Amino acid sequence: MQNYNFFWIFARKNVILQAKCQKKMGIELLDYIESHISAEPEALRRITHDTHVNVLNPHMLSGHLQGRFLAMMSRMIGPKRILELGTFTGYSALCMAEGLAEDGVLVTIEHNDELEETIRANLSLSPLGRKVELRIGDAKQVVPTLEGAFDMVFIDADKREYCEYLDLVFDKVRAGGWIIADNTLWDGHVADAKYDRDKQTLGLRAFNDKVHDDNRLENVILPIRDGLSIIRKK
Ligand SMILES: C[S@@+](CC[C@H](N)C(=O)[O-])C[C@H]1O[C@@H](n2cnc3c(N)ncnc32)[C@H](O)[C@@H]1O
């Protein structure tokens, strides 16, 4: 019992340390990581650059580290069909398309029609763009119209609506399929009482609780970037 307590205190200290490091990972460590992982394909580099120059809120784009993670996940799963909620400028769609089967397709939904031209131009920068079907509209309206099962779903739209998205996509994911949800730690706000009235924080806390309480799902939350939940439908 004593040994167990010691382990618990040690593990706890480690978690606190990791959380602190993550919060102030700082540019040096991120630079180090990015210089030791696979390079961003040229098309994605261009999208990152153009998004920062031309589009509001460029920080919404997944970026090098998370993008390589999504590409790696997709390669591991080898999906035939991927669904994405929240395209923005198409960066994460092209990352996940890297793992698609030869005849695979990725359906991505974006409700901001002002982004349509940019998204289509960005997708055309890569041959993988041909595998991406863009739907302009509200994910809450579009998802129920989609036919067929998906092997992998990436939820990255309005943080207040994550619970609704989960309900909508649940039956669209095949048994043994994967749901990845972005921003589920929300810069640590999910565990910070100062944000008890913040709607996005509340939306994400409700989502994390819902996933945790659903015994049809298993999940892990990774402290990559802003928190990435990897969820498997049993
Ligand atoms: C964080 S960005 C997506 C970033 C992108 N997945 C990436 O990693 O490069 C969120 C996007 O979701 C879109 N969005 C928000 N609510 C939506 C909804 N209900 N339906 C479809 N898109 C939505 C926003 O317009 C925004 O472009």
Cβ contacts of residue 187 below 8 Å, gap of 6+?
226
According to DSSP H, which parts of 61-178 are helical?
63-77, 91-97, 116-123, 139-142, 162-170
Would the pTM of this model clear 0.75, i.e. be above it? yes
- Our answer on whether the CB atom of 162 is closer than 6 Å to any ligand 1 atom is no
- Spacing, Cα 64 to ligand 1 middle (Å): 18
Whether the Cβ atoms of residue 118 and residue 85 lie closer than 8 Å to each other: no
Query: What is the rounded CA–CA span in Å between residue 164 and residue 207?
Result: 9
3-class SS string, 61-75: CCHHHHHHHHHHHHH
Residue 52 CA neighbour count, 13 Å, CB half: 8
Tell me the pLDDT tens digit for each residue of 186-203: 999 999 999 999 999 999
Best of 50, 70, 112, 146 for a ligand 1 pocket test (most atoms within 8 Å of beta carbon): 112
Best of 47, 55, 88 for a ligand 1 pocket test (most atoms within 8 Å of beta carbon): 88
Tell me the pLDDT tens digit for each residue of 202-232: 999 999 999 999 999 999 999 999 999 999 9
Measure the CA dihedral 154/157/161/162, to 10°. 20
Query: What is the rounded CA–CA span in Å between residue 153 and residue 204?
Result: 17
**CA angle 200–15–228, rounded 5-degree value:** 40
- Spacing, Cα 60 to ligand 1 middle (Å): 8
pLDDT band at 158 (very low <50, low <70, confident <90, very high): very high
